[in-house]
């Protein structure tokens, strides 16, 4: 059976990003792998084990603290029970809010957009 495993994001400060996703979204750090010969460290975060959940792979390349955002990447989407409360919590962690909580245009679903510490856009979608 085929299955979506993970999305990889390159980050400039691994612990800052792990803290953002674990403290801000309630994810858990599932595993970490340091590869000195390859000059990188991987940290996998998510809501459950990799055998049955899709996770985010945070990749820190030694000595690189910033990346250019390409124009092709859109956003990650995370379902949360309360978009407004989550937005405020993330704002407290220094997240940049690029769209305040509210209904989607021409609809009723409540969403917001924030950026993680490296500038990746995340859509918050209210789910009961």
- Picking from 48, 10, 12, the residue whose alpha carbon sits closest to that of residue 29 is 48
Q: Do the Cβ atoms of 98 and 46 come closer than 8 Å?
A: no
The answer to whether 123 is a known catalytic residue is yes
Q: What tokens were used for 115?
A: 């950026």
CA quadruple 34, 119, 84, 18: dihedral, nearest 10: 10
90 and 21 in contact (C-beta within 8 Å)?
A: no
**Angstrom distances, CA of residue 27 to CA of 44, 47, 72:** 10, 5, 26
Give me the active site residues, please: 123
């Amino acid at each position: 059976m085929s299955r979506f495993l993970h999305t990889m994001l390159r980050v400039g400060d691994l612990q800052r990003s792990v803290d953002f996703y674990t403290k801000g979204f309630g994810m858990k750090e599932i595993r970490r792998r340091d590869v000195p010969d390859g000059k990188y460290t991987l940290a996998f975060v998510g809501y459950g084990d990799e055998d049955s959940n899709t996770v985010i792979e945070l990749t820190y390349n030694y000595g690189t603290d910033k990346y250019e955002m390409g124009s092709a990447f859109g956003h990650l989407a995370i379902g949360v029970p309360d978009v407004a409360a989550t937005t405020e919590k993330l704002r407290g962690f220094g997240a940049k809010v690029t769209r305040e909580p509210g209904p989607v245009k021409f609809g009723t679903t409540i969403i917001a957009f924030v950026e993680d510490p490296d500038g990746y856009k995340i859509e918050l979608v209210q789910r009961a």
